[in-house]
Structure 1
Amino acid sequence: MISERVYTVWDDAPAPNRGGDVNISKARGYPYDEDWELHSYPIGNGYMGANIFGRTDVERIQLTEKTLANEGLYGIGGLTSFAELNLEFNHEDPIQYKRSININDAMAYVTYNYKNVAYTRTHFMSYPDNVMVIKLSANAKGKISFVLKPEISYLRKAYEKNARTGKMTVDNNTITISGFIDHFSVNYEGQIKVINTGGTLKAIQNGEQSEITVSNADSVVLLVAAGTNYELSEALFLEDEHNKKLDPNSFPHEKLSRLIQAAEHKGYENLKQSHLEDYQLLFSRVKLQFNADIPLKPTKQVLKAYQADASHHYLEELMYHYGRYLLISTSRVGTLPCGLQGVWSQYEVTPFTGGFWHNINVQMNYWGAFNSNLAETFTPYVEFFDAYHPKANRLATKYLKEHHPNAIAKDSLENGWTIGTGTTPYKIVGPGGHSGPGTGALTTKMFWDYYEFTMDTTFLKEKAFPAILGMSQFLSKTLVPVNDSLLLVDPSASPEQKHNGDNYITAGTTFDQELVWENHHDLLKAYKILDIQDDFKKTVEEELTKLDPIIIGKSGQIKEFREEEYYGEIGQKNHRHISHLCALYPGTLINSSTPKWMEASKLTLDLRGNNTTGWAMAHRMNARARTQEGDKAHEVYTKFIKERTLPNLWTTHPPFQIDGNFGTMAGVAEMLIQSHQGYIHLLPALPKAWRDGAYSGLIARGNFELSVVWEDGKATAIEILSRSGGLCKLRYLNISDAKLTTKTGELLDFEEENSDTISFQTIKGERYYINM
């Protein structure tokens, strides 16, 4: 139904490398490195990431390992750069230069011609083998010569803030860097093994600097592994003393040595094959294109042309697939979840810690995982949740002691759990300050979505139901009766909204009320599916009727605060957060069956405006998709690409935050398929700009895989793979006039609800076809 396309991010010149500037701080992170942020090309495997500059004089490859942290901002720990790998080639003024990432394969390349020799560097970050692999080759023998000079990032004297110690040693063909960061007792190590074919290799220890010189080799393979003594566990979060969170007597050396030895034994071609099989199993699931030609010019020029004239839509397509590439590269089973900067940071102190911020950002990272057929990338968050959950239970009790002491249960487990905004691999916090308790329910929405998209009842029973139940138990205790028919979360805050310079704390913000509703509503659905009856279910049923979560104000707007009358009289009119519209997206309370709320949502989005930060544009894009205003969703997507997308296609808050990449990825899919209202709505927010196109592999709730072709804005062919069986309910204009067939062409009957809605029973594993 759709052709194969190879997607490449590329440039015809190396990235500049002026280094970081300690005098520049971005979002309280430092030092800022503009060339790294705008021009380097990222690869990753969930455990670690690398940024490749593609230089021919001295190549810079900056390495990040996701568990390496210093004190960071706010004292809760923060991601920090691991090391720099410098390769001295001294190839000045090459010709026919190109650096690129093939995102279909997750392979990065540097190619050029120097003194009549064609050189190629191939890079990939293997998830199965947890190593970075770099191959240097040429079209003539004996032409590979360079000096490897690693650098330990931000080495400081021990008495300085965020201090790390470190040393570098070389043994035969392996350089080992190792050291210690005091704040969390982090032991870190990296190993770089150089394997040459032909030529000579010389190891040099020059004071504190270890070097390996390769001369006149035919080809060279570098294997890189990195790690720390970090162990994800309940004990890590339960331990309050920062320097006792990790075992200072535990070292990653043996583990890394095994990884390097296994990779060397496996060999380059087998490493490459394992990488490709693993990555393509995920990436190849989805195809999506808007029938725009692929421009034959560097990506930065494609972006520049789009900024001048957005009538060519290839970049909108490329950005969607680049988002999928980045998600696969940052969030894999057994790794930490995807944080604010994915698995990449060149900073000593990363902006906002680079952590998992829960008043929208970490959730946005996974919004597109489910409908874009990458549900398993959410597993790292589930693993992370399992580890922090006991601490979250204690935080719930602590919060209730402070605000609702009379509601505390005798059994502390019945207090449920809670989480606030700032979270890192080392610490979680409770709600308060600028965001209300609804942050926890914004989190559990991901658990419910995972179930609805996969129909995995084991996950529902063992993971989603306990998480959603515990959140409802906690939220139930934050509700204060105002009268017989009204319960309000108190205290309550709408994320990051201020009034007269201070965080605005009140009762019953729309953010908190709507998310209590969402969590309670999802819990009742889970009760029904699992056939569970208990007394708390009755409590939830009663509370659900007393939340009054959505109120329309005198401006026709969705109120953000109950005491607000006209739009903007409390808080910032054009605030980046649209927290009072979480019931529209990612929630489901506001939908086509609530037309007055839907119209008020549209007006609220108009009033809020699109002049905002990167991730905030992404939320608006998804909200416009849910209001089915396809052209307005496309308008904010266009603005996002023009104003918040960098030459390497990372996106910026500013500075770089990966949630914008993932939020707009989700938005593209949401414009093309929705399934939150009990039926699968095809092309619900198709903009005029995407007149012709096709997709395959997108997922709808109920675990249906959809493929659709459309021409002149109208669907012409639809294919459905039923991955779990059950009733399939479809909505599309005049779909009742279409023919439903099996793969053999057998005509099938369907139930007609109305001219635009049909339903039919499906068999697990079977495909169904609709010809319009």
Structure 2
Amino acid sequence: MKTRLFLLLIMCLFILPSASAQQKEYSLWYSQPAPNEGAENIVKSRGFPYDKYWERWSLPIGNGYMGACIFGRTDTERIQLTEKTFGVKGPYKKGGIGNFAEIYIEGIHHDQPLNYKRSLRLNDAISTVNYQYEGVNYTREYFANYPSNVIVVKLKADQPGKISFTLRPVLPYLHEYNDEGTGRTGKVSAQNDLITLTGDIQFFRLPYEAQIKVIPSGGQLKAMNDESGNNGTIRIQQADSVVLLINAQTAYQLKSSVFTASPENKFTGNEHPHRAVSQCIQKAADKGYEALCKEHIADYQSLFSRVDLRLCDETPGIPTDSLLHDYQRGKESLYMDELLFQYGRYLLIASSRKGSLPPHLQGAWSQYEYAPWSGGYWHNINIQMNYWAAFNTNLAEVFIPYVEYNEAFRQSANEKATSYIKKNNPDALSAIPEENGWTIGTGANAFSIDSPGGHSGPGTGGFTTKLFWDYYDFTRDEDILKKHSYPAMLGMAKFLSKTLKPTEEGYLLADPSSSPEQYHNGTTYQTKGCAFDQGMIWESFHDVLKAADILKEESPFLRTIKEQIGKLDAIQIGESGQIKEYREEKKYSDIGDPRHRHISHLCALYPGTLINAETPEWLKAATVTLNNRGDKSTGWGVAHRLNLWARVKDGDMAYQRYQLLLKKYILENLWNMHPPFQIDGNLGGTAGVAEMLIQSHEGYINPLPALPAAWRDGSYEGLVARGNFVVSVFWKQGLMTQMDVLSRAGGECVIQYKDIANFTIKDAKGKKVKTIRESKNRIRFATQKGNTYYLNH
């Protein structure tokens, strides 16, 4: 008997997939360096700079604080450096993210190298360059270490004394102080093995500094400065290898005064970044390259390696640009489907870590004097889309930067809420400022926020606090709920409650109200109670009431919104069978652009939950709207459509939008273009793939809810459902064969899937789990925190 059990155990180890299986390897790689024509190639797109070389070909690394774009050249290497607090005046005179520095490694002169390959390995977030020149193998490694906050570069060769170059950093876009407020001063100085880049930004009176420490092994090092003392370089000759350590910071500190003080006073009294940069560089140097690399890999993989998606066994042996171009010509690749999904997770980790600012419109990267659209946090979809993938792809920690950012701007947001109510609904104004809650409009960045108005209504706030509810719902951490999510949601609900006005029919409508960025007859269309505002107010109230019940909170205000939520009448169906964007519209396209990139009246379907399987008429109307809206959009607009089709559980239609992203809106380095480049389409696309594979917004876990025919066989491991259940699923011929559920928070697990009642469920000890059968397609069972449950057909 013991022998038989032992043999069965061995068979299981080989036959059954394991959630701890080794993650598949993913790389972006190319057989040529990134082209670099600099300013000569910059053109305008939608009124903003667009550089097809930087945006299409450079490879991004980042640690939340800083981002660097690697070109991998063998004549003069270019490393473009961005630091997310580096703020200039920007296009709207409220601040914008600018290019911190260009770092050139000159004098390499390796023309026509052999066996050239540059890559970005997603599994360890290390970019490499490898080639042969005159019989010598050259290698470079680049990574952005988060724990030590340094970008690390190592150049080496397989023969001694073969590394020679000049390190020449440049501060771009320098201007004398001027009446326009666009001045930027700066100098680059070299001393011993250190280059220091320092200066000030006129608009914010913001000091900045970066240091690059050069650590050679063997050879000679010489620091040089020109006569002006503003252009320092370091020359390396005949070294065996060289390590560069880079850190950049400003005097920016994330606190309420950033959003309440005038531009020139936002950072008054803050410490100059010199001491912090110096300490950071010295600590990194003390650790050494090997320790920094080990530290980086351990930190990064603790996040990235949580999820594995396998739709195929292949790993194509052709460069990524060729693979993408083949895909765009109709030769689809399941590996490319996987690669773009994991790339989104990589970009989110690289641009959003605790202590850093959230990812802006270009994530953590910008080579321009100011980023397109200021590199802002646009709250009528873009910043929300940046974080949709955080929760279901097992990266909840990366949402912390937005929590910190939101709590810093809350004082300003409260003042703006009071002003908004005083202007638009003075009868509802409270003499106690806190009772007016807080608000957020469309435009925001690291330096300022706006109120609702213009082309977006107050629903932008409910759209935002949906993220806070999901932050709790996916983690089920009551500490998060008490300290962060509930205060944010409650304050927003207090504001939104005061934007409502009664109608003769007994409804409560947001007034004024706008569906984001929609125009009619050439002007912004304002109304009362558009679907976006009403839907997001419903989501806000609904989430607050759920949270209050969990926390056992009671108050007159909670009773107020419990009454108000029933009078919102958020969803209406029009004569064309569509979800109406406006209450006054009859047929689809009566008002506004019928092919508009925004599809805001369906935000109650995704990321909201008001439209769901229990409202079949609304779901049907949502598909009518999706079909009428069409796909002539932007990268992020297609990503939203992908998520919406997943929510109506049409896998093939969702997959068509995912393919459209790849075929029309993805560049050779897999960045998404609006155009110009915007990161939200990448991150929204990743969220959409996860939404096709797992949903949990309807009170149960639904594995494979929108599986397309193209993904006939496959598996995923590590996606997360609400309730903090980590789920792994394996399927054949479109049908689930196995499901593993790790309960990270305990509680009841409810699963809906075809014939799920006939699956056997066992715990980690092989003991059969008692379940309650609600129907042949739905079961529930109790779980213990930390335990894994195995379902097999």
Give the one of 252, 258, 276 matched to 2:279. Answer: 258
Give the one of 88, 98, 104 matched to 2:117. Answer: 98
Deviation per CA, 1:627-667: give whole Å up to 9, x if none. Answer: 00000000011011100000000111111000000000000
Q: Percent identity?
A: 52
Matched, 1:222 2:250: no
Per the alignment, residue 352 of structure 1 pairs with 373
Give the one of 188, 192, 207 matched to 1:172. Answer: 192
2:500 and 2:89 mapped to 1: Cα distance?
Answer: 36
User: How far 1:483 moved relative to its partner?
Assistant: 2.3
Does structure 2 conserve the Cα–Cα contact (< 8 Å) formed by 1:358 and 1:421? yes
Does structure 2 conserve the Cα–Cα contact (< 8 Å) formed by 1:48 and 1:66? yes
Matched, 1:657 2:675: no
Aligned partner of residue 355 in structure 2, secondary structure = coil
Give the one of 746, 751, 759 matched to 2:780. Answer: 759
User: How far 1:723 moved relative to its partner?
Assistant: 0.5
Using the size of structure 2 for normalisation, the TM-score is: 0.96
Aligned partner of residue 498 in structure 2, secondary structure = helix
2:153 and 2:565 mapped to 1: Cα distance?
Answer: 56
Deviation per CA, 1:317-375: give whole Å up to 9, x if none. Answer: 10010111100000000000111001000011211111111000000000010000000
Does structure 2 conserve the Cα–Cα contact (< 8 Å) formed by 1:237 and 1:391? yes
Matched, 1:369 2:387: no
Give the 4+ runs in structure 1 shifted more than 4 A. Answer: none
Aligned partner of residue 655 in structure 1, secondary structure = coil
Compare 488-497 and 150-159 and name the one that shifted more.
Answer: 150-159
User: How far 1:533 moved relative to its partner?
Assistant: 1.1
Per the alignment, residue 113 of structure 1 pairs with 132
Matched, 1:460 2:478: no
Per the alignment, residue 696 of structure 2 pairs with 675
User: How far 1:157 moved relative to its partner?
Assistant: 2.3
Give the one of 53, 56, 77 matched to 2:95. Answer: 77
User: How far 1:293 moved relative to its partner?
Assistant: 1.1
User: How far 1:312 moved relative to its partner?
Assistant: 2.3
Does structure 1 conserve the Cα–Cα contact (< 8 Å) formed by 2:326 and 2:332? no
Matched, 1:585 2:597: no
User: How far 1:405 moved relative to its partner?
Assistant: 1.1
Aligned partner of residue 577 in structure 2, secondary structure = coil
Aligned partner of residue 506 in structure 1, secondary structure = coil
Does structure 1 conserve the Cα–Cα contact (< 8 Å) formed by 2:42 and 2:52? no
2:236 and 2:152 mapped to 1: Cα distance?
Answer: 17
User: How far 1:249 moved relative to its partner?
Assistant: 6.5
Q: How does 1:143-154 map to 2 (within 5 A)?
A: 143-154=162-173
Q: How does 1:718-737 map to 2 (within 5 A)?
A: 718-737=739-758
Per the alignment, residue 14 of structure 2 pairs with none
2:70 and 2:545 mapped to 1: Cα distance?
Answer: 49
Does structure 2 conserve the Cα–Cα contact (< 8 Å) formed by 1:187 and 1:250? no
1:472 and 1:402 mapped to 2: Cα distance?
Answer: 18
1:696 and 1:485 mapped to 2: Cα distance?
Answer: 49
Q: How does 1:154-169 map to 2 (within 5 A)?
A: 154-159=173-178, 162-169=182-189
Aligned partner of residue 682 in structure 2, secondary structure = helix
1:20 and 1:294 mapped to 2: Cα distance?
Answer: 37
Per the alignment, residue 203 of structure 2 pairs with 183
Give the one of 321, 340, 349 matched to 1:328. Answer: 349
Give the one of 204, 207, 212 matched to 1:192. Answer: 212
Using the size of structure 1 for normalisation, the TM-score is: 0.99
Aligned partner of residue 44 in structure 2, secondary structure = coil
1:158 and 1:526 mapped to 2: Cα distance?
Answer: 51
Q: How does 1:560-579 map to 2 (within 5 A)?
A: 560-579=581-600
Deviation per CA, 1:231-283: give whole Å up to 9, x if none. Answer: 100111111x2111112773100100001110111000001011011000001
Does structure 1 conserve the Cα–Cα contact (< 8 Å) formed by 2:578 and 2:588? yes
1:765 and 1:407 mapped to 2: Cα distance?
Answer: 48
Deviation per CA, 1:531-551: give whole Å up to 9, x if none. Answer: 111111111111011000000
For residue 92 of structure 1, what is the amino acid of its counterpart? D
Give the one of 74, 77, 91 matched to 1:59. Answer: 77
1:709 and 1:506 mapped to 2: Cα distance?
Answer: 48
Give the one of 425, 430, 437 matched to 2:446. Answer: 425
Give the one of 212, 215, 231 matched to 1:209. Answer: 231
Unaligned runs of 5+ in 2: 1-16
Q: How does 1:368-407 map to 2 (within 5 A)?
A: 368-407=389-428
Matched, 1:140 2:162: no
Compare 704-713 and 291-300 and name the one that shifted more.
Answer: 291-300
Give the one of 526, 537, 542 matched to 1:521. Answer: 542
- Two-structure CA RMSD over aligned residues (Å): 1.0
User: How far 1:413 moved relative to its partner?
Assistant: 0.5
Deviation per CA, 1:725-764: give whole Å up to 9, x if none. Answer: 1100001100101101112221122111001000000000
Per the alignment, residue 707 of structure 2 pairs with 686
User: How far 1:20 moved relative to its partner?
Assistant: 2.5
Aligned partner of residue 381 in structure 1, secondary structure = helix
Per the alignment, residue 104 of structure 2 pairs with 86
For residue 259 of structure 1, what is the amino acid of its counterpart? C
Does structure 1 conserve the Cα–Cα contact (< 8 Å) formed by 2:181 and 2:202? no
User: How far 1:515 moved relative to its partner?
Assistant: 0.6
Does structure 1 conserve the Cα–Cα contact (< 8 Å) formed by 2:137 and 2:158? yes
Give the one of 57, 66, 69 matched to 1:48. Answer: 66
Does structure 2 conserve the Cα–Cα contact (< 8 Å) formed by 1:610 and 1:617? yes
Unaligned runs of 5+ in 1: none
For residue 88 of structure 2, what is the amino acid of its counterpart? N
For residue 337 of structure 2, what is the amino acid of its counterpart? E
User: How far 1:161 moved relative to its partner?
Assistant: 5.0
For residue 356 of structure 1, what is the amino acid of its counterpart? Y
For residue 382 of structure 2, what is the amino acid of its counterpart? N
Deviation per CA, 1:24-72: give whole Å up to 9, x if none. Answer: 2233333x32210000000000000000000000000000000001110
Q: How does 1:279-298 map to 2 (within 5 A)?
A: 279-298=300-319
2:431 and 2:177 mapped to 1: Cα distance?
Answer: 47
2:489 and 2:281 mapped to 1: Cα distance?
Answer: 41
User: How far 1:23 moved relative to its partner?
Assistant: 6.6
Does structure 2 conserve the Cα–Cα contact (< 8 Å) formed by 1:29 and 1:347? no
User: How far 1:22 moved relative to its partner?
Assistant: 8.2
For residue 206 of structure 2, what is the amino acid of its counterpart? V
Per the alignment, residue 5 of structure 2 pairs with none
1:281 and 1:128 mapped to 2: Cα distance?
Answer: 12
User: How far 1:310 moved relative to its partner?
Assistant: 4.5
